C-alpha cells in the first residue's frame, strides 16, 4: 500500500544535439553550457516532466545524466566531464527546473562510486551549481567495486557535503561478459545484493535501486545485447511462469521491513578474535519499531545475540550464507 516513488534518468538526447550526430559511442553535447543546444536539452527534461504530470504521473527527482563518465558506448549515453556536468547544472538544467518544476530534485553523477569524491568536489564545491543539486547518485557494478571496498568514498563524500543525500541509482547482477545474463537459483547474486545494500546504507546512502524489476529468460529484451539478471525472471514463452531469484528475497529483507521515512541507527557488531563480526545495519521506522538486518556471508553457520537496550534481547542461530531481519516492535 505504499505510494510508488519515481525518479528519471536520461541516457541520450536526440542525435542532432551531439557532436557526432549519434546517440551511441559516448557522444558529447555540441557547444558549451549555456548555449542553445544545452538550453534545448534542459528543456527536454522539463517537457518530459510536464507530459508525465499531465498524465497523472509525478517524479520526485531526475539525475543530470546516466553514467556521464561514459560506458562501453554500445548503447545510448551522453558523456560529460565533472566540470561539464557542473556547468550544465549551473547554467541550464538547474535554472530550467527551478522555473518549471521547483519540487523536482536533481541528482548529480549517477555513475560509479569510484568517481567519488572527485565529482562531488567539482560540482558541489561550486556554490552556484550546488544550490540546484539535492543529491548524489551512484552505481554499484559490485562484482568489481565491492572487492575494492569503495564504500568509504560515500562516507567521505557525505562528510564533505552533509546537506546532500547519496542514493544508489542503478545496480544489477549478470552484467560481466564471463557471467552474463540470468542464472536461475544462483544464491551468491542475492548475497552480493545484500552486501552492497547494507554497506551503502552504512555509508550514508538513503536508498538503493535495482536496474530491472523483471526480465525474460535471456535477460532481456535489450536491443544492444546487454542482457543481465533480475530479481524476477519471466518465462515469456510459457506466458504464465516466472521465477523469484535470490535477489528478490535479499531486497525484501530491506524493502519489506524498512519503509520510507525510516532512520538509520548505530549498530555495533562484535565477535571473538579471529572471527569476523556479522554485517549489520539498523533502522528506527516511522511507527517506532527497530529493524535490524544481519548478513552472514561466512562458509559456516554462527550463533549470535542481539541486544536492543529498552526493547529486548534475542539469540540467533543462523546458517552459512544467510540473511536475517529482526524487528523489535515499539510495544516491546
The residues carrying an active-site annotation are 67, 170
Q: Let me know: does 325 contact 291? Beta carbons within 8 Å.
A: yes
Strands 7-8 and 61-63: parallel
Q: DSSP string covering 34-75, please?
A: TSHHHHHHHHHHHHHHHHHHHTT---SEEES-SSTT---SSS
Residue with cell 578474535: 273
- What is the distance between the alpha carbons of residues 252 and 242, in angstroms, rounded to a whole number? 17
C-alpha closest to that of 144 among 176, 101, 179, 110: 176
Q: DSSP string covering 76-112, please?
A: ------HHHHHHHIIIIIHHHHHHH-TTSEEEEEEEE
Amino acid at each position: 500500500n505504499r505510494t510508488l516513488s519515481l525518479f528519471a534518468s536520461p541516457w541520450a538526447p536526440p542525435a542532432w544535439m551531439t557532436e557526432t550526430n549519434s546517440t551511441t559511442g559516448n557522444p558529447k553535447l555540441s557547444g558549451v553550457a549555456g548555449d542553445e543546444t544545452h538550453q534545448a536539452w534542459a528543456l527536454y527534461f522539463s517537457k518530459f516532466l510536464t507530459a508525465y504530470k499531465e498524465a497523472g504521473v509525478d517524479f520526485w527527482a531526475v539525475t543530470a545524466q546516466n553514467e556521464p563518465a561514459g560506458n562501453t558506448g554500445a548503447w545510448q549515453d551522453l558523456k560529460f566531464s565533472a566540470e561539464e556536468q557542473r556547468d550544465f547544472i549551473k547554467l541550464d538544467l538547474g535554472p530550467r527546473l527551478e522555473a518549471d518544476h521547483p519540487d523536482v530534485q536533481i541528482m548529480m553523477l549517477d555513475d560509479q562510486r569510484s568517481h567519488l569524491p572527485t565529482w562531488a568536489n567539482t560540482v558541489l564545491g561550486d556554490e552556484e551549481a550546488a544550490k540546484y543539486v539535492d543529491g548524489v547518485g551512484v552505481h554499484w557494478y559490485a562484482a568489481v567495486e565491492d572487492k575494492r571496498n569503495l564504500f568509504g568514498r560515500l562516507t567521505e563524500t557525505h562528510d564533505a557535503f552533509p546537506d546532500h543525500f547519496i542514493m544508489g541509482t542503478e545496480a544489477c547482477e549478470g552484467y560481466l561478459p564471463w557471467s552474463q545474463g540470468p542464472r536461475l537459483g544462483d544464491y551468491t547474486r542475492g548475497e552480493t545484493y545484500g552486501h552492497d545494500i547494507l554497506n551503502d546504507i552504512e555509508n550514508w546512502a538513503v536508498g538503493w535501486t535495482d536496474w530491472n524489476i523483471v526480465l525474460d529468460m535471456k535477460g532481456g529484451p535489450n536491443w544492444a545485447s546487454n542482457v543481465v539478471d533480475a530479481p524476477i525472471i519471466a518465462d515469456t514463452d510459457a506466458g504464465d511462469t516466472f521465477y523469484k531469484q535470490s535477489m528478490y528475497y535479499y531486497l525484501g529483507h530491506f524493502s519489506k521491513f524498512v519503509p520510507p521515512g525510516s532512520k538509520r541507527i548505530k549498530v555495533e557488531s562484535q565477535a571473538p578474535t579471529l572471527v569476523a563480526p556479522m554485517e549489520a545495519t539498523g533502522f528506527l521506522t516511522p511507527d517506532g519499531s527497530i529493524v535490524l538486518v544481519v548478513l552472514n556471508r561466512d562458509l559456516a553457520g554462527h550463533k549470535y545475540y542481539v541486544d536492543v537496550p529498552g526493547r529486548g534481547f534475542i539469540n540467533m542461530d543462523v546458517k552459512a550464507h544467510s540473511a536475517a531481519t529482526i524487528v523489535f516492535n515499539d510495544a516491546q
